[in-house]
């Protein structure tokens, strides 16, 4: 699905830029609950567990829709799904702006999750068509990291607007931002640079074999577990529980907490291209990057949670800088999907991979809410630092599970590559400076 050599670079950048704007809007919608969680608890008169259901509903729909959306993407293309997804997110933010009932608020987050589910992998498919293979890892990484600009919009500016204008105007502005992104997609985005480069839309009868083939390849499952183990800690921190942890647990002001979340997002923007460069230069050692990120994240949390009393500001800065690497590292999962699957099943494979991190995030969001309620002293209105320590300790079980599965499927992918190399031409993966690396030994491309 590489773009033809005659494709104008300006056209490719324009189409990608508008699709990226749609993803920025989606991340803004997704993260808008994170910095408004304390206000949401007051508005709807709910406790931590009930507040967690907002994010759980949003993330559960997102995760559940990834495989269906991947199949729809292979059938209908990116432009249609970006438009439909954008409209759903606008509808969700409108509902959230006007909701005073918990049930309507949950429906609103479900709509946001449903629309969000259609956005990222649609943009990845555009990248695959419009950019040649040697630049694909960099543009994919830039998509994932620049998309986090939406989280910046959903931090300090949204908090300021919320406190200045109130709940309803703030989320009406969020809906207007989403509507603008939908209009831009309608005007500027095309699925492919040349209609003939796109495979024919698969019939429903052929969808199941494509999905089964994507799932059967151990490289796809390696991508899924890579996404699982690298994404959840940073996502849950930014999406919901980081802001209450910093304000209620660490005693920071709302502005200081929102600023730390912004630092986390900006750092992610800077580290993303570096990880993309390392993946392109050392494609046979991508799993080393994965294990390094997981170990560093677990170590940073260990120091923060073990610190006697509130952590010093410098340590919290270190924590958010480490968490900033989680999102870019999760993009390695999509690079596995791209290099282990043919173009005809890219949507399905990417959808499978994208399930991983969001399933882990759902588990952690819900578990943190439950533990906070159980560990908060009776009669206390808000969780204390000890409760947050117990709640965030749940992460260690998820890191252990994910690391074991990454190791398992890395070995399986290497065996598959070795078998393929023994029976046919060597598999090639993108190498440094746009070259190629032949994979003909057990070390493989994982």
Please state the pTM of the whole predicted model: 0.74
Report yes or no: 12 and 193 within 8 Å, Cβ to Cβ: yes
> From the centroid of its chain, how far is CA 279?
18
Q: Using CA atoms, how far apart are residues 249 and 251, in angstroms rounded to an integer?
A: 6
Tokens of 281: 């230069």
DSSP 8-state code for residue 246 = I
Q: How many CB atoms lie within 10 A of CB 201?
A: 10
> What is residue 7's predicted lDDT score, i.e. its pLDDT?
67
Report yes or no: 131 and 139 within 8 Å, Cβ to Cβ: yes
Domains, the chain, with CATH or none: 10-192+207-423 (1.20.1250.20)
Q: Using CA atoms, how far apart are residues 327 and 403, in angstroms rounded to an integer?
A: 16
Which string of b and e fits 301-340 if b means at least 16 CB within 10 Å?
Answer: beebbeeeeebeeeebeebbbbbbbbbbbbbbbbbbbbbb
- 3-class DSSP assignment, residue 427: strand
> What is residue 337's predicted lDDT score, i.e. its pLDDT?
86
Q: Using CA atoms, how far apart are residues 171 and 177, in angstroms rounded to an integer?
A: 10
Q: Using CA atoms, how far apart are residues 247 and 309, in angstroms rounded to an integer?
A: 14
- Residues with Cβ within 8 Å of 202's Cβ and at least 6 positions away in sequence, in order, are 74, 75, 210, 344
> What is residue 206's predicted lDDT score, i.e. its pLDDT?
60
> What is residue 354's predicted lDDT score, i.e. its pLDDT?
85
> What is residue 133's predicted lDDT score, i.e. its pLDDT?
67
> What is residue 176's predicted lDDT score, i.e. its pLDDT?
93
Q: How many helices (H) and strands (E) does the chain have?
A: 20, 2
Tokens of 119: 């956005």
> What is residue 442's predicted lDDT score, i.e. its pLDDT?
37
Nearest to 35 by CA among 241, 268, 249: 241
Q: Tens of pLDDT along 111-145? A: 999 999 999 989 988 988 888 666 777 888 788 87
The half-sphere exposure of 387 on its side-chain side, counting CA atoms within 13 A, is: 24
> What is residue 366's predicted lDDT score, i.e. its pLDDT?
87
Average pLDDT, the chain: 84
Provide the angle, in degrees to the nearest 10, between the axes of the packed helices 218-236 and 346-375: 40
Nearest to 146 by CA among 1, 44, 20, 62: 20
Q: Tens of pLDDT along 35-66? A: 677 778 778 887 777 777 777 788 788 888 88
- Residues with Cβ within 8 Å of 131's Cβ and at least 6 positions away in sequence, in order, are 2, 3, 12, 16, 139
Q: Tens of pLDDT along 159-201? A: 788 888 888 898 899 899 999 999 999 999 998 887 544 444 5
> What is residue 376's predicted lDDT score, i.e. its pLDDT?
85
- Residues with Cβ within 8 Å of 148's Cβ and at least 6 positions away in sequence, in order, are 27, 265, 268, 269, 327
> What is residue 410's predicted lDDT score, i.e. its pLDDT?
93
> What is residue 134's predicted lDDT score, i.e. its pLDDT?
67
Tokens of 267: 């750092």
Q: Using CA atoms, how far apart are residues 412 and 127, in angstroms rounded to an integer?
A: 28
Rg for the chain, CA atoms, rounded: 21
Q: How many CB atoms lie within 10 A of CB 195?
A: 8
> What is residue 137's predicted lDDT score, i.e. its pLDDT?
74
Nearest to 27 by CA among 144, 111, 187: 144
Nearest to 396 by CA among 359, 374, 368: 368
- 3-class DSSP assignment, residue 284: helix
End-to-end C-alpha distance for the chain, whole angstroms:
22
Q: What is the mean pLDDT of each run of 10 residues along the chain (446 residues)?
A: 59 93 92 74 78 79 86 86 96 90 88 92 88 76 83 76 84 92 94 61 62 87 96 89 92 88 85 81 86 97 96 96 93 87 78 88 90 84 89 97 96 85 56 41 48
> From the centroid of its chain, how far is CA 74?
20
Report yes or no: 210 and 344 within 8 Å, Cβ to Cβ: yes
For tokens 């078998």, what's the residue? 419
């Amino acid at each position: 699905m590489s773009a033809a050599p005659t494709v104008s670079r300006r056209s490719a950048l324009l189409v990608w830029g508008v699709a990226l704007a749609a993803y920025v809007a989606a991340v803004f919608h997704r993260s808008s609950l994170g910095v408004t969680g304390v206000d949401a608890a007051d508005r709807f008169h709910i406790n931590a567990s009930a507040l967690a259901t907002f994010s759980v509903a949003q993330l559960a729909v997102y995760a559940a829709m990834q495989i269906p959306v991947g199949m729809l993407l292979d059938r209908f293309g990116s432009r249609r799904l970006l438009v439909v997804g954008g409209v759903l997110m606008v509808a969700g933010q409108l509902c959230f702006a006007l909701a005073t009932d918990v049930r309507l608020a949950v429906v609103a987050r479900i709509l946001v999750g449903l629309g969000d589910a259609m956005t990222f992998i649609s943009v990845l498919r555009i990248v695959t068509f419009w950019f040649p293979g040697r630049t694909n890892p960099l543009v994919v990484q830039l998509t994932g990291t620049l998309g986090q600009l939406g989280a910046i919009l959903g931090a300090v500016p949204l908090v300021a607007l919320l406190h200045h204008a109130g709940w309803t105007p703030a989320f009406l502005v969020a809906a207007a931002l989403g509507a603008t992104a939908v209009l831009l997609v309608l005007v500027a985005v095309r699925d492919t640079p040349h209609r003939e480069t796109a495979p024919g839309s698969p019939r429903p009868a052929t969808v199941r074999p494509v999905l089964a083939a994507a799932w059967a390849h151990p490289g796809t499952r390696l991508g899924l577990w890579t996404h699982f183990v690298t994404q959840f800690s940073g996502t849950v921190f930014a999406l919901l529980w980081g802001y209450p942890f910093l304000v209620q647990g660490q005693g920071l002001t709302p502005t200081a907490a929102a600023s730390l979340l912004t630092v986390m997002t900006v750092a992610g923007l800077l580290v993303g291209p570096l990880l993309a460069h390392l993946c392109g230069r050392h494609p046979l050692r991508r799993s080393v990057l994965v294990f390094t990120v997981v170990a560093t994240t677990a170590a940073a949390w260990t120091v923060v949670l073990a610190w006697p009393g509130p952590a010093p500001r410098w340590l919290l800065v270190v924590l958010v800088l480490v968490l900033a690497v989680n999102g870019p590292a999760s993009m390695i999962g999509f690079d596995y999907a791209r290099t282990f699957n043919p173009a005809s099943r890219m949507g399905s494979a990417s959808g499978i991979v994208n399930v991983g991190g969001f399933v882990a995030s759902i588990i952690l969001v819900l578990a943190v809410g439950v533990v906070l309620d159980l560990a908060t002293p009776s009669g206390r209105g808000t969780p204390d630092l000890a409760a947050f320590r117990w709640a965030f300790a749940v992460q260690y079980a998820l890191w252990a599970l994910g690391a074991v599965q990454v190791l398992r499927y890395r070995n399986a992918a290497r065996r598959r590559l070795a078998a393929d190399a023994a029976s046919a031409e060597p598999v090639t993966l993108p190498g440094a400076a746009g070259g190629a690396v032949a994979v003909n030994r057990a070390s493989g491309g994982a």
